[in-house]
Amino acid sequence: MGIKLFDSELNIMEILWRDGDTTAKRIAEITKEKVGWSKTTTYTIIKKCLDKGAIERQEPHFVCHALVTREQVQEQETTELINKMYDGAPDRLIASLLGQKRLTIEEINRLKRLIESLE
Amino acid sequence: MSLLEMTISASTFIVAIMIFRFLLIHKVPKLTFVVLWSFVLFRLLVPFSVPSPFSIFTAVSYLEEMVVTVPENAAFSKRSSSLLDDNTVIMQPKSDSIAIPAVPVQAASPLSPYVLIWLVGFIACALFFIIPHLRSRNRYKMSLPVESNYIREWQQTNSLRRKVQIRQSDQILTPLTYGIIRPVVLLPKQIDYEDEQQLGLILTHEYIHIRRFDTLKKWLLAASVCIHWFNPFVWVMYFLANRDIELSCDEKVIRTFGESMKSAYAMALVRLEEKKSGLSPMVNNFSQSSTEERILAIMKTKKISITAMLLAIVIVAGSVTVFATSAPDHTVEHAGSDGAKVVYQGKGQSTTALMPIDLTFTSADVPMLIDRLNASNYRAVYMDNEVYLRVTKDNSILISKDSGTNWSLYDADDINATEFANWLLINDPIPGYSMKEMQSRLKEGAQVKHIVFGNGKEMYLVTDQNGIHIELVQPEKVASVLLDGHRMMITFKKLSNISATMLQSFYDLLVSNGILTETEAEQDYSAKIEHFEQNDTMFTITD
């Protein structure tokens, strides 16, 4: 089975794969130093990993334990997820009103020809 | 300025910019439009105005005066000369007051339905912007630092006063910048980090946004849409201004890199679009793509000629003077009752004149009537189709609502004389027969009483040892006859239409109150009717 993870989630998994089981507090300290995340941001990402079943929480002290190996993880496909998350969300509406819509292959080819013709 | 005034004045400006934009988008620097939008924003968000005699609103109020007020006056002025020569009638047309409504305008309660509806719309709009923003912000926070020597070097050579972070995220599809005080440039993971030319273009674009505080501009645009959500022009402005900010930024990138980079830059944009749409199943034909507009704008960028520059300056200076300013306020200045200067700031436009249009006979015109009144038990008599009123020698006010059969005492409110003097200045600013006299009377401590009838009708009674003077307020034209210690005054329901019935009843009233004898009343009535008929080009006698 493959779990799809974002880079941010992978970043936390890397810590667990390298250092073994780690408390959430310690993870937050490491990420703050290395990638500049706030404690809240780190906890949010840990929560996402928990939800996806990539890690489990062990008490006491909120110890994080990796449930998947590096080989079992796939990179999350951005476009796929963004489409799922943002269809129908207000900012998609604004974007489409602003004309920031996704272009089709034909439209993109047409734009390329347009640039060439104007050169 | 009220919200409605702000929104209306800004709308004309928005329409003007839309026209300029349509005609000149590829001809003048794009910054022109960004600057123009900033003025609209100022107009939409800052509740005061800069007066200018060249404002479009000066023209509007001028036109209004021509259309609304002049015809009425012309009817008077054409013929009133003969009347004045005749020296019997003094006309006091009072319709062209430059004043605001006479009755103290009811302060809108903070929860009037309109305010409530506006508030609901405002909150809905604000949430519409803030919620997606906060969700995106949380996503952006999960970004990672970029490992790229090229970027590190680029950052060192292009430092800004604010510290800018450049980070990478796999959760976004296009490069973006967020944060106003501590800006962060976020690059999508999918872009080609080996392509240094493209990277340079992207970073330059984002740094220009940061340097120009474009994030702040976009927030102010969103704020103006929230406040003016009911105005479709403001929405149009929101979309166009957002595009213009991008176009102007693109233009600056090309100026920085030189025109030879035009196609490379346009291609970079298309490649970003390609990455975005790569796996997207969405086919959306909702609007014309802004990418195409951007590409056209980029490819058509030329060196700014002096002509284009001058054109841009003229457009900005011209439209700002014409549309972003308001008509200068009329200022009426007059000595107040207490001797202090009273300054009244009138509006640019003429508004409802609540002072009735009247026909007035002074004590010189109707000496007999005034004499008889002074000799009687009364100091003033008034009537219209609803109310009869008389003021006795001891200043009691008696009112009858059944045509003079039963009279009851009316307890009128006392009004501060200074306030009344101000009120009079605002509402009856034409220096008429009585203004000076009235002011000196108020100054010497005349008492002012205020009566409010139904339908917005009001009456002010100014009393001192010299007698009584009554000022009428009529939001609608009402036929009425008034006799006080200084004049006889007839008002009309329709302009210059004198109601014979009303006049007849008035004389009956004078008789029944022992002011005139029956014979005197008949003679005087006939004389008045005859007088009006002789001037029949001016007045129409109706039943």
Same-domain check for residues A62 and A98: no
Same-domain check for residues A85 and A70: no
Same-domain check for residues A104 and A67: no
Q: Which residues from A are below 8 Å from B138, CB to CB? A: 41, 44
Residues on chain A bordering chain B, Cβ-to-Cβ distance under 8 angstroms:
6-8, 11, 35-38, 41, 44-45, 75-83, 87, 89-91, 94, 96-105, 107-108, 111-112, 114-116, 118-119
Indicate the residue of B136, B288, B292 with minimum beta-carbon distance to A111: B292
Helices B214-227 and B232-257: angle between axes, nearest 10 degrees = 170
Q: Which residues from A are below 8 Å from B142, CB to CB? A: 6, 8, 37, 41, 44-45
Judged against a pLDDT cut of 90, whether residue B36 lies above it is answered with yes
Judged against a pLDDT cut of 80, whether residue A3 lies above it is answered with no
What confidence tier does B328 reach under pLDDT thresholds 50, 70, 90? low
- Say yes or no for a CB contact (<8 Å) between B284 and A96: yes
Same-domain check for residues A17 and A68: yes
B501: left (phi over 0), alpha (psi -120 to 50) or beta: alpha
pTM of the model: 0.56
Query: Which of B11, B31, B60 lies closest to B316, judged by CA?
Result: B31
Indicate the residue of A81, A102, A111 with minimum beta-carbon distance to B295: A111
Q: Coil, helix or strand for B333?
A: strand
- Mean pLDDT (chain B) is 76
Q: Which residues from A are below 8 Å from B165, CB to CB? A: 36
| First-residue to last-residue Cα distance in chain B | 46
Half-sphere exposure of B300 (CA within 13 A, CB side): 16
Half-sphere exposure of B336 (CA within 13 A, CB side): 14
Q: Which domain holds residue A92?
A: 77-118
User: Chain A contact for B289, CB < 8 A?
Assistant: yes
Indicate which CATH number applies to the domain containing A17: 1.10.10.10
pLDDT of residue B444: 82
pLDDT of residue B124: 93
Same-domain check for residues A70 and A81: no
Which of A5-19, A94-108, B338-352 shows the lowest mean pLDDT across its residues? B338-352
Judged against a pLDDT cut of 90, whether residue A24 lies above it is answered with no
Same-domain check for residues A44 and A57: yes
Same-domain check for residues A45 and A92: no
What confidence tier does B275 reach under pLDDT thresholds 50, 70, 90? low
DSSP class per residue in B5-32: HHHHHHHHHHHHHHHHHHHHTTTS-THH
User: Chain A contact for B143, CB < 8 A?
Assistant: yes
Same-domain check for residues A64 and A22: yes
Q: Which residues contact B446 (CB under 8 A, 6 or more apart)?
A: B417, B462, B463, B464
Strand ranges in B295-427 using DSSP code E only, listed in sequence order: 325-326, 330-335, 341-346, 358-362, 378-384, 388-392, 397-400, 408-410, 413-415
CA distance A64 to A25: 10
Average confidence (pLDDT) over B40-62: 70
- Provide the β-strand partners of residue A3: A73
Number of residues that this document lists for chain B? 543
What confidence tier does B353 reach under pLDDT thresholds 50, 70, 90? low
Same-domain check for residues A58 and A106: no
pLDDT in tens, B182-196: 889 988 887 888 888
Q: Are B322 and B9 in contact (CB under 8 A)?
A: no
Same-domain check for residues A14 and A69: yes
HEC letters along A23-80: EHHHHHHHHHHHHCCCHHHHHHHHHHHHHHCCEEEECCCCEEEECCCHHHEEECCHHH
Same-domain check for residues A81 and A70: no
CA distance B61 to B51: 13
- Say yes or no for a CB contact (<8 Å) between A112 and B286: no
Same-domain check for residues A64 and A89: no
Q: How many domains does chain A have?
A: 2
pLDDT of residue A6: 86
Residue A1 CB neighbour total at 10 angstroms = 6
Structure tokens at A109: 């080819």
Write out residues 18-77 of B within 8 Å (CB-CB) of A: none
